[in-house]
A and B are shown apart, each in its own frame.
Chain A
Amino acid sequence: DAGVIQSPRHEVTEMGQEVTLRCKPISGHNSLFWYRQTMMRGLELLIYFNNNVPIDDSGMPEDRFSAKMPNASFSTLKIQPSEPRDSAVYFCASSLAPGEFGDTQYFGPGTRLTVL
């Protein structure tokens, strides 16, 4: 079992550039979550998909952030334009069942984003 796969593992970019983070959930999992981890704010949920449909995007900080899940095995989180305050570790997680049932979320290794 490969687990949740994220790419790239590290991304360094300059302010104003577009950044795309990628996630492949565990095969067969129906729910996908994007989290952001910072020292100041800890771990916070950005968006949650169930069966490829966005269910809760209330954590997306602003319009510069967008997420898609075109199929069950791939999701992207895009930041355009990026700003230094977006620097963080971005985690993708997946679960077999919808979050409402308390199913375990399994996390990927994260993407460390640095915006200069």
Chain B
Amino acid sequence: AQSVAQPEDQVNVAEGNPLTVKCTYSVSGNPYLFWYVQYPNRGLQFLLKYITGDNLVKGSYGFEAEFNKSQTSFHLKKPSALVSDSALYFCAVTTPSNTGKLIFGQGTTLQVKP
């Protein structure tokens, strides 16, 4: 069965510092990996995805993520956090054989303090 783990319920970081939100996955076959962000009372906004190719993926708002096949990880990173980055972040995975069904992690709340 496919699964996604986000081991941290909350990540706290000071504005201007680098941030990392962790994600590991378990699938059979090649993964398609996604990061979404959810602001309060809003839908999910797409940040970035890995399908194939370069392991370092760059996305919206200065975020990037690195696909690591050996560690089955897809951690989200940003060099310099902003207070406005504070939100709930979801990692998700699917595979070509899974009819597009996205399996989501439980989410990580990012709190950036001024």
Chain A residues near B (Cβ < 8 Å): 4, 31, 33, 42-45, 48, 55-56, 59, 91, 93, 95, 98-110
Contacts and interface: CB of A to CB of B under 8 A. Distances in A.
Given A56-B99, A100-B99, A107 B49 contact: no
Closest 3 CB pairs of A and B: A99-B100, A102-B32, A107-B43
Nearest to A56: B99
A105 to B, nearest CB: 6
Nearest to A106: B46
B90 A33 contact: no
Nearest to B36: A107
Interface in B38-71: 42-46, 49, 51
Contacts of A55: 99-100
Given A48-B99, A48-B101, A102-B51, A42 B107 contact: yes
Contact of A102 (B44, B96, B107): B96
